[in-house]
Structure 1
Amino acid sequence: MGGFRYGVGDVAVDSLVKDSVKEPVKERPIPRPVPALSAVALVALLLVGCTGPEPATDPGTTAEAAPSPSVSAAESSPAPSPTPVVVAPERPAAMDDDGYEGAEAAAVYFLSLDDYIMKTGDTTEWEAMSHPECSTCSKRLEQAQHIAQNGDTFTGGEMSANILHTYEQDEATGIWPLDIKVSVEPVVITDQAGDQVFADDAVEAEQRFEVLRQRDQWVIVNIVGSQHIDGDDA
């Protein structure tokens, strides 16, 4: 997969919020986990046939030997693996709020959509929440579409999010800036032949989300921040 690079917020673009961000209106150190999406797998059953014993022949008789019973053994082969079931994340009710709580819920929900679009190719909700100015949003959309077009399989990538700071709404733009710590599980991408075409370790990143309420809909305007491998120093 030439040029493919997995990551969260790996494209930095100019912020629409002034550099002089106001003091945080609150801090939320309590982790807000994004529901992990799980794949349902079934164990393949092997069917093994039995071979019957040879019939005993009386050595004192000249009777015609009975024919040996036919041997029937089912060919041992694994059952085909079922298609993994990927459930769409549930939209939180808090997104109906038009204040900072709605902005927080929208950012966390958007993160929960990431591995879903990679695994299913269903990008409808992602596109609806992506502002045209969000280059990171469009990059992730392109990657999801690339995986779907190639028929590749995306495994892993479940996210959890911890909101670190929520800042005052920017008066000029109406944007709510949020600082979020994002943790991503390891990722493996395989092609239709089952060959691995991409893999990445667990990732942690601290990112600035810029969230805007427009026409009663939350959209992600921008995602910027640093990214590092789990275990490295920030």
Structure 2
Amino acid sequence: MATALVLAAPLGLTACTGSSGRDPSPSPTATGVAATPDPTPTAPSTSRSSKPERPAAMDSFDIEGAIAAATYITALYPYVYNTGDLTEWKTLSHPECIFCTSVVEGVEELHGQGFHNEGGQILVEGATAVELNPGRSFSADLSLRQGPATVVDSSGNQVGEPSQEVSSGMTFILFIDQGNWQIREAETKPHEE
């Protein structure tokens, strides 16, 4: 059933593993930390076709840019399931990011069956980032709340039960590759009460 593909766990996210040989694993020594208590998320949309706006802060390759890139990818997550438009998602995805690839496969399978999601917008409630390798890689931790999502067929009929609202944490490892942000890894963390 299509509902198993979408949001079975908070964000349906898993850790990414693998090694490209291009970039070593991030250094465990942090060179900077920033906290953003009230990041400005992309405004949630109820429309299937409203693409999130790319934050201008993504043009900076620093801690604020890492937070903006991680926030943007979370805004794209429901958008790609709602519309099937994977263009921007693929641009931000490192080729070996397992999470990124699993989203592409899930979206293609869902839309290939004639289904799509409605809802599931994500609000970033807090964010911090650490520079792992100066000018090369960052880790960003986001506190997230995702609204309910419903799988709908091509006639607009609901398929299965809608998902519930969920809160979780998310850690992203981001690299700067040829002047662009790339999501290298992503991992869900349990919500802390």
Normalised to the residue count of structure 1, the TM-score between the two structures is: 0.69
| Contact map agreement 1:37 1:116 (CA 8 A) in 2 | no
User: 2:127 corresponds to which letter in structure 1?
Assistant: L
Unaligned 5+ segments in structure 2 are 19-24
Match of 1:88 in 2: 51
The whole-number CA distance in structure 2 between the counterparts of 1:161 and 1:109 is 10
Select the structure that is richer in helix: 2
Match of 2:26 in 1: 17
| Contact map agreement 1:205 1:226 (CA 8 A) in 2 | yes
| Contact map agreement 1:95 1:106 (CA 8 A) in 2 | yes
The whole-number CA distance in structure 2 between the counterparts of 1:195 and 1:38 is 16
| Contact map agreement 1:28 1:164 (CA 8 A) in 2 | yes
1:176 Cα offset (Å): 0.6
Could you say if the C-alpha distance between residues 21 and 13 of structure 1 is closer, same or farther in structure 2, counting changes exceeding 3 Å? farther
Match of 1:181 in 2: 143
Select the structure that is richer in strand: 2
Residue 35 (structure 1) aligned to one of 27, 37, 43: 43
The whole-number CA distance in structure 1 between the counterparts of 2:128 and 2:64 is 12
Structure 1 stretches of 4+ moved >6 Å = none
Give the SS at the match of 1:119. Answer: helix
Match of 1:4 in 2: 5
1:179 Cα offset (Å): 0.9
Normalised to the residue count of structure 2, the TM-score between the two structures is: 0.83
| Contact map agreement 1:130 1:219 (CA 8 A) in 2 | yes
Aligned residues: 183
Unaligned 5+ segments in structure 1 are 40-84
Residue 142 (structure 1) aligned to one of 96, 101, 105: 105
| Contact map agreement 2:46 2:118 (CA 8 A) in 1 | no
| Contact map agreement 1:34 1:111 (CA 8 A) in 2 | no
Bigger mean CA offset, 154-163 vs 7-16: 7-16
User: 1:180 corresponds to which letter in structure 2?
Assistant: L
Could you say if the C-alpha distance between residues 219 and 9 of structure 1 is closer, same or farther in structure 2, counting changes exceeding 3 Å? farther
RMSD of aligned Cα (Å): 2.4
Give the SS at the match of 2:5. Answer: coil
Match of 1:64 in 2: none
Could you say if the C-alpha distance between residues 95 and 129 of structure 1 is closer, same or farther in structure 2, counting changes exceeding 3 Å? same
1:163 Cα offset (Å): 3.9
Percent identity of equivalent pairs: 27
Q: Kindly indicate whether residue 192 of structure 2 is the aligned counterpart of residue 191 of structure 1.
A: no
1:34 Cα offset (Å): 2.7
Superposed CA offset, 1:145-179 (max 9, x none): 122111113111001113432112325x9211111
> Which protein has the larger Cα radius of gyration, Structure 1 or Structure 2?
1
Match of 1:200 in 2: 163
1:189 Cα offset (Å): 0.6
| Contact map agreement 1:32 1:163 (CA 8 A) in 2 | no
User: 2:38 corresponds to which letter in structure 1?
Assistant: I
| Contact map agreement 2:147 2:166 (CA 8 A) in 1 | yes
1:23 Cα offset (Å): 7.1
1:98 Cα offset (Å): 1.8
